[in-house]
Amino acid sequence: MIKIEMLRCFSTVAQTGNLADAAMRMGRTQSALSMTLKQLEEHLGQRLFENERKNRLTPLGQEVFRFAQQQLRQFDDTIQAIEAAARAPQGLLRVASIPSASGLALPGAIETMMQRHPALELELRDMDTGRVVDALLQGQADLGIVSGQPVLNGVESETLFEDAFGLLCATGHPLAQQAQLPDVDAVFASGFIRNSLCALIEAPEIRAALPRARITVHNTHSLLAMVRTGKWVTILPRSVAQVQPKELVFRPIAGLEEQRSVSMLIHTRAQFPQLVAEFADILRHSPWTG
């Protein structure tokens, strides 16, 4: 039987590349770690490390390491959630949101909720849509805010707002200063950075141009930091420009009419359903688009 501590031991040794550093990190003896690894390998019937120095994984070891990391993250998040719930007899609300929504109406909604329930504990996590969905499905979040309109078992979904895709650039960028609307060719000729939301755009001219992008940035904060320098531009929904209105400019792109939907996902089996329902109602009536 594989135990969680076996996976933790194996992952730590794989990360450090030797027993000595792994033992120091875990506060255990090298012999204890060696015994645990031996038990794990005997259970699997194959070696996980190429040699006794433990500095190189076998192909199976690489696969086990990947799965172990996933399970350890889920286990640790679950323990954290259990402990947080025990510390919060008046209620715990766990929210996962895409970064662009976190900078819009969400802070105000959280403030309203905390004023109504001074003893409430609330956890907010910034993550992309895929990870928000995973957090809901794994029971690590009660309510999520995502791009698009995913359909999930055990999760209710409703649209919060829609906003148009367009050019996002620094206030001093030439495309921000010109009188006419930029077209797709002008945007992609100006140091275009691809981002994960581009996958939501169906316009043929955008899809045809995306392979020309040499830089892809998945983290929203890093993306905006690069755009602020004035050396790069990107395509994002209009609401993202509201996060930093003095430094960024949103401009429609000639011929691009598509919009991004932002949805609220509600876990139907949340631990505190009344609190989740109340917070969801606050979000429904929040000024998302200014």
Q: Give the SS3 label for residue 248.
A: strand
Segment 167-171 shows an average pLDDT of 96
Residues 6+ apart with CB under 8 A from 237: 100, 163, 164, 165, 166, 197, 259, 260, 262
Contact (CB, 8 A) for 264 and 287: no
Is residue 222 classed as helix, strand or coil in its secondary structure?
helix
Mean pLDDT of 93-109: 89
Assess whether pLDDT exceeds 90 at residue 237: yes
The pLDDT assigned to 290 comes to: 63
Per-residue pLDDT at 112 = 96
The predicted model scores a pTM of 0.70
Task: Report how far apart the first and last C-alpha atoms of the chain are (Å, whole number).
Answer: 55
Residue identified by tokens 């089996």 is 269
The average confidence (pLDDT) of the chain is 90
Is residue 231 scored above 90 in pLDDT?
Answer: yes
User: Given this model, what pLDDT does residue 89 score?
Assistant: 58
Kindly tell me if the per-residue pLDDT of 217 is higher than 90.
Answer: yes
Question: Among all chains, which residue has been given the structure tokens 């209009």?
Answer: 238
pLDDT at 240: 83
Is 82 a residue whose pLDDT tops 80? Answer: no
Q: State residue 244's pLDDT score.
A: 72
CA distance 220 to 199: 15
Closest of 128, 155, 158, 129 to residue 142, by C-alpha: 155
Handedness of CA 225, 230, 234, 240 (dihedral sign): positive
Domains in the chain (CATH in brackets) are 4-84 (1.10.10.10), 90-160+261-284 (3.40.190.10), 161-258 (3.40.190.10)
- Beta carbons of 272 and 195 less than 8 angstroms apart: no
Query: Strand runs (DSSP E) across 8-154, as ranges?
Result: 92-97, 121-126, 143-147
Per-residue confidence at 151, pLDDT binned at 50, 70, 90?
A: confident
